[in-house]
Structure 1
Amino acid sequence: MTAVRTVLGDVRPEELGVVDAHDHLFLRSPHLPGQELNDASTARAELEAFRGAGGSAVVQWTPYGMGRRAADLPLLSRETGVHVVAATGLHQAVHYDDATLAGLRGTLADVFVAELTQGIGTSGVRAGFIKVAGGFHALDAHTRWTMSAAAEAHRATGAAVAVHLELGTGALDVLDLLCGELGVSPERVILGHLNRSPDLVVHREAASTGCYLAFDGPSRAHHATDWRMPEAVRALADAGFGARILIGGDTTTAAARSVNGGPGMPCLLRRVRPRLEVALGAELVVRILTDNPARAFARPSSKEDR
């Protein structure tokens, strides 16, 4: 038996329904001044708009120390009727001050495990997966530290490991580290931002390991590659990897929210979904939105919390 850990507790994977597999309700970073997602009322409105477009679950990839507002997530989920899955993990070093990183030395894996099994801070909200990040075509010491901790937490809890690929690069290096050196099963790894580097050969090689490939957007910053996403997804499907594809909205700024005039979460279902149906057919798109994320974010329900 498997279960997906939402902010309201564990649910059967099939209960998730239509999933935005990569997005943000709250997000804050000193590296992105003035671009914070920090307003609960607009987060609620965005979830309601997503629900109105036919969505029923959102996976928030905001990790430790980046303004997750975990205590607010259960109420938002109840009020809107949308399942929310929260993340533990750590982003690139640029998103943290030196004191924060220094305070995590020697304890990072324990922090991840605690947030997965006991709760984030004093909120009582348990994370459902681990989010870490690679660098641009490289894996630096910070990446190796965070991924080593993620692998340890994965072994303790069974939680999936999701990876921010900087501009979509470094997928194979990440897999070499996580799955080769650190022993994480590829089926428990989710690679994010593949649309930002539409290298179809790399996509197929990564998918052949058994990992999940997440395509997210649309994005003003990455619009130049957004239009190639259906082509990249179709190439994977044609190669037999339709069951490894995830899609999400990845809303990272207030201006990108639909309630503020941007595409936001509803665009995933209003505009991206019909475009993918042209490329892939409606039946496969249904599976990408429902079955694939249900498997990707599930973990053994019998796994004992440490």
Structure 2
Amino acid sequence: MMRVRTVLGDIDPAALGVTDSHDHLFFAAPALAGQELDDPAAAEAELGAFRGLGGAAVAQWTPFGLGRMAGELPALSRAAGMHLVAATGLHQAAHYAPELLERLRSDGLAEFFTAELAEGMLVGDDPDGPRGTARAGMIKVAGMFHGLDGHAREVMAAAARAHHATGAPIGIHHEMGTAAVDVLTLLHGELEVPVTSILLGHLNRFPDPGLHRELAASGAFLAFDGPSRAHHATDWRLLDCLADLASAGYGGQILIGGDNVVASSRASTGGGPGLPYLLRVLRPRIAAALGEAAADAFFVANPSRAFAADWR
């Protein structure tokens, strides 16, 4: 039976509702020092603003080791009245201390991801720390700029093994929107992950309609997730890219997210636009340009399929 795995348990995909398909409630990386998302009260306020506009769910793509604060997520979900999908996985090697990566490799990356999906996530960023009851509902991995390095291939191979063990969907960070073909070749072509379990992220950062149609033809989900303070450079091309895909018959594979990774992006406590922008500004623009049915697909129907799995 297909279910969406949230931090409070598995739910019917039809119950997921209006979804921000790629965002971050908590995030901390050395490259963004001083702009950490690490305030539970601010996260609750942001979720409240999103819910006030009709939002029902957020997929947090923050993987292990980047301040995802997994121990805070169940209480936050209850307090905000929102479904939260959390991620296991790893980002690019540059985000981690070499000794941490070596420790995770020695213990087995696939086994680590599988345990977080099936048993419960570590509540902090210490691999020796306690494990909570909240389970991850997806695996986050990352490519490099126009290619895949050894770390990316190793992590994706582990993610594929964890997928085959659990059924979990895999979301991919594409550096500046690139290397998506390489990722599909590896995950689907070589590692036999079904394309319906592959979520290609950040495609808005490489606004090439021809490439987008090629990726869509594979059957994978395509995530456009950039109207945040850090990732807004190609916002002006977004509607054109969505319209092109929809006109080619690929509207059923599009996901929309905010990808807010810095504290200044929050609408409630920073300079915005934050989570509310998706429903306050972007959804009405999509509906005006492509119709209400397309907007509902992007925010409701598509995420209910993308984040669902026949969990094993």
| TM-score, length basis structure 2 | 0.95
- In the other structure, the counterpart of 1:171 is 180
- In the other structure, the counterpart of 1:24 is 24
- In the other structure, the counterpart of 2:48 is 48
Q: Is 1:268–2:269 an aligned residue pair?
A: no
Deviates more, 1:22-31 or 1:236-245: 22-31
1:53 Cα deviation from its structure 2 partner: 1.1
8 A contact 1:247–1:288 mirrored in 2: yes
Percent identity reads 57
1:271 Cα deviation from its structure 2 partner: 0.5
- In the other structure, the counterpart of 1:229 is 238
In structure 1, what residue type is equivalent to 2:271? Answer: G
Deviates more, 1:274-283 or 1:207-216: 274-283
What are the within-5 Å matches in structure 2 for residues 120-135 of structure 1?
120-121=121-122, 122-135=131-144
8 A contact 1:219–1:226 mirrored in 2: no
In 2, the alpha carbon distance for the partners of 1:221 and 1:268 equals: 15
In structure 2, what residue type is equivalent to 1:298? Answer: A
Q: Write the deviation string for residues 106-136 of structure 1: whole angstroms up to 9, x where unpaired.
A: 4100000000000012221100010100000
Name which of 143, 152, 160 aligns with 1:143.
152
In 2, the alpha carbon distance for the partners of 1:45 and 1:201 equals: 39
What are the within-5 Å matches in structure 2 for residues 253-264 of structure 1?
253-259=262-268, 260-264=270-274
8 A contact 1:65–1:96 mirrored in 2: yes
- In the other structure, the counterpart of 2:128 is none
Aligned residues: 302
CA RMSD of aligned residues (A): 0.9
- In the other structure, the counterpart of 2:118 is 117
Structure 2 unpaired stretches of 5+:
123-130
Q: Secondary structure at the match of 1:41?
A: helix
Deviates more, 1:31-40 or 1:209-218: 31-40
In 1, the alpha carbon distance for the partners of 2:239 and 2:95 equals: 31
8 A contact 1:31–1:94 mirrored in 2: no
1:76 Cα deviation from its structure 2 partner: 0.8
In 2, the alpha carbon distance for the partners of 1:37 and 1:157 equals: 29
Deviates more, 1:236-245 or 1:276-285: 276-285
Shift >3 Å, 4+ stretches = none
In 2, the alpha carbon distance for the partners of 1:255 and 1:135 equals: 26
In 2, the alpha carbon distance for the partners of 1:134 and 1:267 equals: 27
Q: Is 1:103–2:113 an aligned residue pair?
A: no
Q: Secondary structure at the match of 2:29?
A: coil
In 2, the alpha carbon distance for the partners of 1:190 and 1:135 equals: 16
1:164 Cα deviation from its structure 2 partner: 0.4
Q: Secondary structure at the match of 1:59?
A: strand
- In the other structure, the counterpart of 2:200 is 191
Name which of 251, 275, 294 aligns with 1:242.
251
Q: Write the deviation string for residues 124-179 of structure 1: whole angstroms up to 9, x where unpaired.
A: 11000101000000110011000000000000000001000001111111101111
1:3 Cα deviation from its structure 2 partner: 0.4
Structure 1 unpaired stretches of 5+:
none
Deviates more, 1:31-40 or 1:215-224: 215-224
1:79 Cα deviation from its structure 2 partner: 0.9
Q: Write the deviation string for residues 208-229 of structure 1: whole angstroms up to 9, x where unpaired.
A: 0000000012133333311101
Q: Secondary structure at the match of 1:31?
A: helix
